[in-house]
A = this chain, B = another copy of it.
Amino acid sequence: MQKPSIPKGTRDFSPVEMSRRQYIFDTVRSVFRSYGFAPLETPAMENLSTLLGKYGDEGDKLLFKILNSGDYAANLSQEEMRNASKICEKGLRYDLTVPFARYVVQHQNEIVFPFKRFQIQPVWRADRPQKGRYREFYQCDVDVIGSRSLLNEAELVEIVESVFGKLGIAVTLKINNRKILYGIAETIGHADKMTDITVAIDKLEKIGLDNVNAELRERGLDDTAVAALQPILELTGTNAEKLDKLSQILASSETGMAGIAEMRTLFGYIERAGVTIEVELDLSLARGLNYYTGAIFEVKARDYAIGSICGGGRYDNLTGIFGLPDVSGVGISFGADRIYDVMTGLELFPENVDCSTFVLFANLGAEEESASLRLLSQIRKNGTAAEIYPENGKMKKQMEYADRRNIPYVVIIGSRELETRCATVKDMRSGEQTQVEFDAIAQFFTARN
């Protein structure tokens, strides 16, 4: 018989991986909750009509489609069967944003706006699997929809600071604004080419100024326009200094000036909130998604090279695709897989996060087992995860079990311990053994857990 396997690009998460992942999810969730965001979940399957056309042609190809149940082929010609939409009505969600937009439109009459929701669920993409890219992965999204206030942007910045502060990851938060990007395009006389310009600017860090200029020319900018762009590409200084210079350059663009005003307000909020992470206005930040209309965010780990670990922005028309126009929102998404890699790489997980059991009782026979079970019950009631080896097996095997499961303490109750009513407690890390009175044992572990 062939050893069973799982589909390529998917993963099992072992107990140790799960405990670490859960630590990330719990941290993210607790921060979201402290800011008043409420949990939402949507089904893994959406109607294909909800998903198709929302992620571009490439995205459509990457959707996992679910074969209709029952006789999917009934009355279909061979040609028709070659058309996936004829045999599949449903697909797996590709991100959490489109299902969220669908939810908001579908439940618009029940929802209390501004609607603050977070959503932590897996998504599926039929991408070619490669290192760090999976066909099933989790997203952790947090959005406010139905409010244009920049206080929402400021709150997301605080959430970024709080989440990564709790996880112990030093980060830089880069901020830009689509209105400023439009203002730049407008100012250099190419308002129609905002996307081309931002795509090129986006590569500044990767390919350098000369290559960006070459690409801009390729994309149809004349020399005057490229020249007009240089002061912007070479902008330096503090965020306030950059905004001051920009406000001179973009003075004639109403949209550009609106973007600058937004950024000034946002930086004001950030400063008054006492945010201590580095927050940088970065004009080369564009982010691929075309639905952003205001602020754009991207977070990078300072001590680990892995690309963006969190990102998002303001969108003014997300629900428009489902027939509800003019509802503005802003949100960010935390990349759990990359955060996991950063934390593993920098050894940031707390020592005990891997221990699913804190205390193991060795099993030395019927009478000893009975005494152990009574103590075990007290220890668990005190909130410590504990178990007993279920069989009276060889001591060596039991100690190996504790060792391999990374259990920090083993309690040994043999005939001598029964007599003295004192358990032998072995610290598996130091090897040290202590005698602890039965009556004091629950407290002993509470103090160490």
Binding site for B on A (CB under 8 A): 1-7, 10-15, 18-19, 22, 33-47, 50, 61-62, 64-67, 69, 72-73, 77-78, 81-82, 84, 87-90, 92, 102-103, 105-107, 110, 112, 114, 116-117, 122, 124, 126, 135-136, 144, 147-149, 151-152, 155, 158, 269, 272-274, 322-323, 356-357, 360, 369-370, 373, 377, 380, 383-388, 390-391, 401, 404-405
Contacts of A405 in B (CB 8 A): 112
Interchain nearest-CB distance for A259 vs B (Å) = 19
Q: Is B1 within 8 A of A322, CB to CB?
A: yes
**A36 lies within 8 A of B404 (CB):** no
Q: Find out whether the CB atom of B380 lies under 8 angstroms from the CB atom of A34.
A: yes
Cβ contact within 8 Å between B380 and A35: yes
Contact B105 A36 (CB under 8 A): no
Once the chains bind, are A356 and B39 in contact (CB under 8 Å)? yes
Q: Which residue of B lies closest to A369 (CB)?
A: B151
Smallest Cβ-Cβ distance to A379: which chain B residue: B34
B390 and A152 contacting across the interface, CB-CB below 8 Å: yes
Contact across chains for B357 and A36 when beta carbons are under 8 A apart: yes
**Contact residue among B135, B136, B323 (Cβ-Cβ distance under 8 Å from A1):** B323
Decide: A383 and B34 in contact? CB cutoff 8 A.
Answer: yes
Residues of B close to A107: CB separation below 8 A: 12, 14
> Taking the nearest CB of chain B, how far is it from the CB of A449, in angstroms?
11
Contacts of A50 in B (CB 8 A): 4, 6
Number of copies: 2
Tell me the complex Cα distance, A106–B126, Å.
24
Query: A69: which B residues are within 8 A, CB to CB?
Result: 61-62, 64, 126
**Whole-angstrom distance between the Cβ of A383 and the nearest chain B Cβ:** 7
Contacts A34-B386, A65-B67, A373-B272; A43 near B7 (Cβ below 8 A): yes
Report the bound CA distance from A439 to B39 in whole Å.
31
Q: For A122, what are the chain B residues with a Cβ–Cβ distance below 8 Å?
A: 44
Residues of B within 8 A of A42 (CB): 6, 12-13
A-B residue pairs in contact (CB < 8 Å), sample of 15:
A13-B39, A13-B40, A36-B356, A36-B360, A36-B387, A44-B44, A44-B124, A45-B124, A65-B67, A66-B67, A72-B84, A112-B401, A112-B405, A273-B373, A273-B377
Is the CB–CB distance between A43 and B84 below 8 Å?
A: no
Q: CB distance A33 to B65 under 8 Å?
A: no
**Pairs A-B, 6 closest by C-beta atoms:** A36-B387, A15-B38, A38-B356, A10-B43, A1-B323, A149-B390
Contact of A356 among B33, B147, B385 (CB under 8 A): B33
Separation of A147 and B147 alpha carbons in the complex (Å):
57
Compute how far the CA of A50 lies from the CA of B7 in the bound complex, rounded to whole angstroms: 10
Given A44-B136, A387-B116, A390-B114, CB of A22 within 8 Å of CB of B5: no
Take A1-B322, A73-B81 as given contacts and tell me if A45 and B136 are in contact as well, using a CB distance cutoff of 8 Å: yes
* A407, chain B: closest CB distance, angstroms: 8
A45 in contact with B10 (CB, 8 Å): yes
Distance in angstroms between the alpha carbons of A147 and B363 in the assembled complex: 13
In the assembled complex, the Cα of A383 lies from the Cα of B162 at a distance in Å of: 13
Q: Please, which residue of chain B has its CB at the minimum distance from the CB of A269? A: B373
How long is the Cα–Cα vector from A158 to B39 in the complex, in angstroms?
Answer: 31
A12 to B50, CA, bound (A): 14
The answer on a CB contact under 8 Å between B391 and A149 is yes
Query: Given the complex, which residues of B lie within 8 Å of A18, measured CB to CB?
Result: 38-41
- Contact: A12 with B41, CB < 8 Å? yes
